[in-house]
Structure 1
Amino acid sequence: MLHWSVTAARMCGAGILLSLLSGGAHAADLMTKAPPIPYAETDDFWTRPYLFGDLGRTQLKERGISLALTLGDEAVGNLSGGNRNTATQAGQLFFQAKFDMAKLAGIQGGLVGLTLVDRFGHNLNDEAGIPALQLTNEVFGRGNILRLTELYYSQKLFDGQLELKGGRLPVGSDFFFGLCEFINLTFCGGQPGNIQGGYIYNWPVSQWGGVVHYNFAKGFQLSVGVYDANSNYLTTTDPTTYFLPGVPNSNPAAGVLVPVELVWAPSGPLDGTWRFGGWYDSASSIDGGLPGILAIVPGSNGGPDQNIGDQRGRYGIYESILQRLTVDGPDAQGWYTFLNTTVADHRTSYQDYQIALGFRHTGTFSWRPRDEVGFAVGTTHVNSAALTPNAGGNEVPIEAWYGWQATGWMNLKFDAQYVINPGGRGYNAAGVKTSNAWVLGIRTLVHF
């Protein structure tokens, strides 16, 4: 009950903030999608896209200020597998603001973005003793704190052909797979960060970085980014780093993370987004549980020598395909599919590849044109060189859900997961074999 009280208090405080700011446009983040219908003059409680109504947000947006406040919550329960049958929940409340500098200051193509994310709740894998590689409630993680997730300036040039962007950014805001419609982390957000979370920090963690997007032909875009690689961005104790746009303390492994991505976005009725990319991180070290080539450096001020690990850098490649397959209605109804594959440097990666395939259908029933169904299957592989009983094994999650658009401002997903060989071969940290896991859950999404 305490956790629900804390959540309610945060929601209330954020609601007051939104009321004071008098507005908000819908957000598009790694977890959620926009409200399904535009705001209309007929302010019906059940069909309007925002729980609290317009609150003047339409007028603000016309003046160049778009605001949003969204809650996403995942309540999940373990039916079998792990150490015990239990249930928990985790979620995030996030506030987003975008300032159109063309309307506000006459700077054509300029945009300032701000996103704050407050996470709460608990990890089902820990609570139920499920030794899974991937979270069974993906929204959990990176601390139950209020984080600065985005603070950036973006400038489009040459009629939008070139975009320059810089500030505090999550890598997944501009690279990797961008949807998160499933509860298992295998099928959610920036896939490279799912298996390389030690140095690729997915939402809601941000780091200082700069990005260039170049639209060199119709439907084609080339993107290059440079991000400060420093594990101190993960802090949950220093607000000057996680909440304010400060610079974290340096550490011996600091360097840069450089992602490169080519995007093809076919247009027409069967539109899609095809991403092909890779990354290089110069702040290398061997992941835990891997034998590595060690580097020894003399200690400073006469102190002991230090093992700084393998310093040759680490890298990987990925593809992400999101494609519409059918057109079954006038308002996004139809079948969609996605296929994600990530292969990480075998030399430094405990989890060295992940594959995810999923399908979604919008407008499942003619009388429920905005309801959806989804199904996905994936695998995460443990490096064969890992010093663990799970070495060489594959964790295989299967997930299905039904999405009910309960109101214009609230969506509910009723979800079932079956995780085969959690951990890769089903062994927990103590080397004890565990069963496959059945997990049931519900995701609630509310646009305020």
Structure 2
Amino acid sequence: MNALNINSSKKIASFSFLLAIISSGVYANEPWSQDRQWLFGDWGGTRSHLEEQGYKFNLSWMNQTATLIDGGKTDSHPTRNADQLTLGANFDLNKIANWENTTAAFTITKRGGDNIANDIGMKGSPTEIYGRGTIWRLTQAWIKTGFIDNALQVKIGRMGMAEDFNSSQCEFQSLILCGGQIGKAQGDVWYNGPVSGWAANVKYTIAPEWTIGAGIYENNPENTEEKKNLNFNLSTNEAKGTLIPVEIAWKTTRVNQLSGEYKLGGFWSTEDYQAVDGSGKQQPKSGLWLNAQQQLTSKVDNSRQGLYTAINLTFNNDTTASISSTQQIALWYKGALNSRPMDQIGFGLGRYKFNDKVASNSDRDDEVDAELNYTYNYSPAVMIRPNIQYVYQPYGLKSIDNAWVAGVSVKLNF
């Protein structure tokens, strides 16, 4: 057994031991009690007091482990871990400085680990937390303020694009089933967190249920590089124009009086890029998306429990994108067990459709990733999500065996 697998086994054993302790009930009403908001506690009441004054702090750690059970490019069964440490703070500047309708955020992140997708040979990844380098990054440094009774909101600073456009739920460990989808297909220009860039956006509530938004985002490849970001790259010297997203959102309770949100949007780049077919033609990068999330059922005694669904579709410019489109559909049920009201079970499917205009794609079709999971929310401070994943046609190639992957996500809020 190599050193990586030894370390992976130690981590899995540690998580199992943790689960055994917190499930035993020995520490009821103590640091491991099920109403514990943070593992480090309330700092003797100081933390709650600071939140009341407008200062909210976040220290969290996420680890995702995946084991290749069968298939992929290898006959072995490797286990890989990916993790992320997040340190952040949010500021309510109305409370702090009497700046009405104004908030700010500052977050840094550190990712680490390895990607089992390399062993499988797939486009997606069974560990969505992996990617963009194993370094510290400045992920958020922005301020947002409201005008016209807060109907018009303006945000400026450092941010990722999916914070405000093409955003979606993340209830899974598989990459394509988690968060904004445009970055999965056109990640060479659309940077989701933890990558950030200089940006500004505005959103305007034109009616109680309707909001429109637009933004301008620095398109700077330097922001993705590890060497530059070891010192938190703030330079715009290597920026290649900007990306301009627009989106209209509809929030409604018209389906069984349950909450839903539907978004239609698109983006384009101000710079031209080479065509993927090798013709030498140049066009801007662009794409469209449709996001829909809807609660379908609810329980009488708790309206937040019940069945939820999300559908996310993207359509990319075939001239400049190697992925023509992506589709994602997911279902999750909150409070499936009466004895575990905070837990949920989820199932999702995601598809990458490869662009047949790419010369190297002559034998490629599509890749479909599926996941079934159970989310064990022991407390607001401890989440454990075992899952099983299936990868059909990794990288769209019939020459790579379909793969089965066993995974587990652990998130701790300190």
What is the TM-score normalised by the length of structure 1? 0.82
Query: AA paired with 1:361?
Result: Y
What residue in structure 1 maps to residue 92 of structure 2? 100
Q: Secondary structure at the match of 1:186?
A: helix
Pick one of 333, 356, 362 that aligns with 1:361: 333
User: Does residue 68 of structure 1 match 2:53?
Assistant: no
Q: Secondary structure at the match of 1:59?
A: helix
Indicate if the aligned counterparts of 1:165 and 1:212 stay in contact, CA closer than 8 A.
yes
Indicate if the aligned counterparts of 1:133 and 1:395 stay in contact, CA closer than 8 A.
yes
What residue in structure 2 maps to residue 186 of structure 1? 176
User: Does residue 283 of structure 1 match 2:268?
Assistant: no
What residue in structure 1 maps to residue 152 of structure 2? 162
Indicate if the aligned counterparts of 1:282 and 1:312 stay in contact, CA closer than 8 A.
no
CA distance in 1, matches of 2:249, 2:77: 43
Q: CA RMSD in A?
A: 2.1
User: Does residue 273 of structure 1 match 2:266?
Assistant: no
Query: AA paired with 2:407?
Result: G
What residue in structure 2 maps to residue 421 of structure 1? 393
Distance verdict in 2 for CA 1:360–1:134, change over 3 Å:
same
Pick one of 428, 435, 444 that aligns with 2:401: 435
Task: Please show how residues 49-448 of structure 1 align to structure 2 within 5 Å.
Answer: 49-55=37-43, 56-82=46-72, 83=74, 84-126=76-118, 128=119, 130-239=120-229, 243-244=231-232, 246-250=234-238, 254-267=240-253, 269-286=257-274, 290-294=276-280, 310-328=281-299, 329-330=301-302, 332-389=304-361, 391-426=363-398, 433-448=399-414
CA distance in 1, matches of 2:303, 2:41: 23
CA distance in 2, matches of 1:72, 1:87: 17
Query: AA paired with 1:53?
Result: G
CA distance in 1, matches of 2:233, 2:354: 36
Q: Secondary structure at the match of 2:63?
A: strand
CA distance in 1, matches of 2:150, 2:57: 23
Query: AA paired with 2:259?
Result: D
Indicate if the aligned counterparts of 1:361 and 1:374 stay in contact, CA closer than 8 A.
yes
Deviates more, 1:355-364 or 1:321-330: 321-330
Q: CA deviation at 1:402?
A: 0.7
Indicate if the aligned counterparts of 1:382 and 1:392 stay in contact, CA closer than 8 A.
yes
Distance verdict in 2 for CA 1:334–1:237, change over 3 Å:
same
Distance verdict in 2 for CA 1:293–1:389, change over 3 Å:
closer
Query: AA paired with 1:411?
Result: M
Q: Secondary structure at the match of 2:395?
A: coil
Q: CA deviation at 1:282?
A: 2.1
Spell out, residue by residue over 1:216-241, the C-alpha distance to the aligned partner (whole angstroms, 9 max, x if none). Answer: 100111010101112111111024xx
Q: CA deviation at 1:44?
A: 5.6
Query: AA paired with 2:369?
Result: P
CA distance in 1, matches of 2:259, 2:362: 40
Q: Secondary structure at the match of 2:41?
A: coil
CA distance in 2, matches of 1:249, 1:123: 31
Structure 1: gaps spanning 5 or more residues: 9-41, 295-309, 427-432
Q: CA deviation at 1:149?
A: 0.4
Question: How many pairs align?
Answer: 385
Distance verdict in 2 for CA 1:220–1:43, change over 3 Å:
farther
What residue in structure 2 maps to residue 307 of structure 1? none
Q: CA deviation at 1:392?
A: 4.8
Distance verdict in 2 for CA 1:43–1:154, change over 3 Å:
farther
Q: CA deviation at 1:178?
A: 2.7
Distance verdict in 2 for CA 1:434–1:392, change over 3 Å:
closer
Deviates more, 1:178-187 or 1:389-398: 389-398
Spell out, residue by residue over 1:179-233, the C-alpha distance to the aligned partner (whole angstroms, 9 max, x if none). Answer: 2111111111110000101111111000101000101100111010101112111
CA distance in 2, matches of 1:196, 1:216: 30
Indicate if the aligned counterparts of 2:283 and 2:319 stay in contact, CA closer than 8 A.
no
Indicate if the aligned counterparts of 2:115 and 2:125 stay in contact, CA closer than 8 A.
yes
Structure 2: gaps spanning 5 or more residues: 12-28
What residue in structure 1 maps to residue 17 of structure 2? none
CA distance in 1, matches of 2:395, 2:335: 36
CA distance in 1, matches of 2:274, 2:406: 36
Indicate if the aligned counterparts of 1:390 and 1:425 stay in contact, CA closer than 8 A.
no
CA distance in 2, matches of 1:340, 1:330: 27
Query: AA paired with 1:258?
Result: I
What residue in structure 1 maps to residue 25 of structure 2? none
Q: CA deviation at 1:111?
A: 1.3
Indicate if the aligned counterparts of 1:385 and 1:391 stay in contact, CA closer than 8 A.
no
CA distance in 1, matches of 2:355, 2:326: 11
CA distance in 2, matches of 1:173, 1:213: 13
User: Does residue 45 of structure 1 match 2:20?
Assistant: no
Indicate if the aligned counterparts of 1:229 and 1:283 stay in contact, CA closer than 8 A.
no
CA distance in 2, matches of 1:160, 1:286: 42
Q: Secondary structure at the match of 1:172?
A: helix
Q: Secondary structure at the match of 2:277?
A: coil
Distance verdict in 2 for CA 1:286–1:136, change over 3 Å:
farther
